[in-house]
Amino acid sequence: MSTSAIEIEVPFAENVTVSDDTLCVDLSDGRSISVPLAWYPRLSHGSSVERKRWRMIGRGVGIHWEDLDEDISVEGLLAGKRSGESQASFSNWLAKRSSRLTTRSTRTRGKAPRAGGQKING
């Protein structure tokens, strides 16, 4: 008996949109895939500004959020994989994030906002 392997070509991400409750990725084959943001706790805990700061990995095989230290692959999205991060790891990240945000807001208190733009979707 012989078997033949079926090669499946995984499309590339072309655009990413993150709302308050959904991650939507437009793919190179014309499809869009939307998943609940709750599948990725770091994204769901990020601000809307942090969620907008993403970049493609490997010309679209994945998406990276530097501010949130989050990477999501297109293959994982298509397979329906949620974040594989352990609760202990996520709790550590959340604690570090909270202390960093508290320190940042304490340092900037009383300072006038500076003008300037930010690069998004680099």
Predicted TM-score of the model (pTM):
0.76
What gap in Å lies between CA 37 and CA 102, rounded to an integer? Answer: 24
| Cβ contacts of 34 within 8 Å, gap of 6 or more | 22, 23, 24, 25
- Compute the distance between CA of residue 117 and CA of residue 94 in angstroms, rounded to an integer: 27
Token pair for 8? 């499946």
Q: pLDDT-derived band of residue 110, with 50, 70 and 90 as boundaries?
A: low
Tell me which of 98 and 68 has the higher pLDDT: 68
Instruction: For residue 28, give every residue at least 6 positions away whose Cβ sits within 8 Å of its Cβ, in sequence order, or none.
Output: 11, 12, 13, 14, 60
pLDDT higher than 90, residue 52? yes
Give the separation between CA 27 and CA 17, rounded to whole angstroms: 12
| C-alpha to C-alpha distance for 30 and 35, rounded to whole angstroms | 17
Under CATH, what is the fold of the domain 13-108? Answer: NE0471 N-terminal domain-like (3.30.2020)
pLDDT at 7: 78
Question: Residue with structure tokens 């991400």?
Answer: 13
Q: pLDDT (tens digit, 9 = 90+) per residue, 73-106?
A: 999 999 999 999 999 999 999 999 888 777 666 6
Closest CA to 15 of 28, 4, 5: 28
Q: Where are the domains of the chain?
A: 13-108
CB 72 within 8 A of CB 81: no
For residues 18-38, average pLDDT: 97
